[in-house]
Amino acid sequence: NAGVMQNPRHLVRRRGQEARLRCSPMKGHSHVYWYRQLPEEGLKFMVYLQKENIIDESGMPKERFSAEFPKEGPSILRIQQVVRGDSAAYFCASSFGLAGVDEQFFGPGTRLTVL
Amino acid sequence: DAKTTQPNSMESNEEEPVHLPCNHSTISGTDYIHWYRQLPSQGPEYVIHGLTSNVNNRMASLAIAEDRKSSTLILHRATLRDAAVYYCILRALSGNTGKLIFGQGTTLQVKP
């Protein structure tokens, strides 16, 4: 059973370009979470999605960021018009359920560098 | 989610036990205590969780105080591979969206 997969592992963008980060959850998992880790900072929750639904986006910046988890295919975190401050490691996690006991399985992350 | 407090850093010698403390004095009765760790340049990984009783798994043990206001993650024989940031996180049984609230964690250094 493959783990959570993220691609690309490294992404370089120039200011103003768009960044698309992909996450394939573990087989059988329908809950997906995105977290961001800025340089020298801790992990921060961004958004929680189930298939075709955004459940909690309380951690998402108000502008330029969006996320989706379509019925078919991976979850996508999209950052429009990137700025240098978006440079960070973006981690995706998936879980089977959302109860307090369900562990989240994390992917290896996408490291975004904005030039 | 209730707040947790951990030491910023700890050191251990290889092959010795390590006790990583966590204080959570405002824990509620339905909060589970979870531990995750993040190795350098990797995503976090689940370590262990518990509610009231002490727990053991292949990675570690979790000792929970009787009043549940503190807990200790125990690595029985630290290896160099255990050098990581360890996060103690409280998660409500229900009524939440499952998101993990990471604090600063404890950076564990393991010396050979």
Question: And the tokens for A68?
Answer: 């989706």
- Taking the C-alpha atoms of residue B4 and residue B26, their distance in angstroms, rounded to an integer, is 8
Is a pLDDT exceeding 80 seen at residue A8? yes
Nearest to A36 by CA among A13, A1, A12, A67: A67
In the numeric block, the tokens 């509610």 are attached to: B51
Peptide bond between residue A8 and the one before it cis (omega within 30 degrees of 0): yes
- Taking the C-alpha atoms of residue A84 and residue B28, their distance in angstroms, rounded to an integer, is 40
Residue B2: the pLDDT is 62
Is a pLDDT exceeding 80 seen at residue A89? yes
Is a pLDDT exceeding 60 seen at residue A93? yes
Residue A41: the pLDDT is 84
User: Nearest C-alpha of chain B: how many angstroms from A15?
Assistant: 24
The answer to whether B44 contacts A91, with C-beta atoms less than 8 Å apart, is: yes
Q: What is the pLDDT of residues B56-89, one digit of tens each?
A: 999 999 999 999 999 999 999 999 999 999 999 9
Q: Which of B55, B62, B97, B104 is the best residue to mutate to test the A interface, defined by the most A CB atoms within 10 Å of its own CB? A: B97
The answer to whether B49 contacts A101, with C-beta atoms less than 8 Å apart, is: yes
The answer to whether A98 contacts B98, with C-beta atoms less than 8 Å apart, is: yes
A36 contact partners, CB below 8 Å, separation of at least 6: A43, A44, A46, A88, A89, A90, A91
Residue B99: the pLDDT is 86
By percentage, how much of chain A surpasses pLDDT 90?
82
Q: What is the pLDDT of residues A46-87, one digit of tens each?
A: 999 998 899 999 999 999 999 999 999 999 999 999 999 999
Nearest to B99 by CA among A115, A94, A63: A94
- Taking the C-alpha atoms of residue B7 and residue B107, their distance in angstroms, rounded to an integer, is 8
pLDDT confidence bin for B97, thresholds 50/70/90: confident
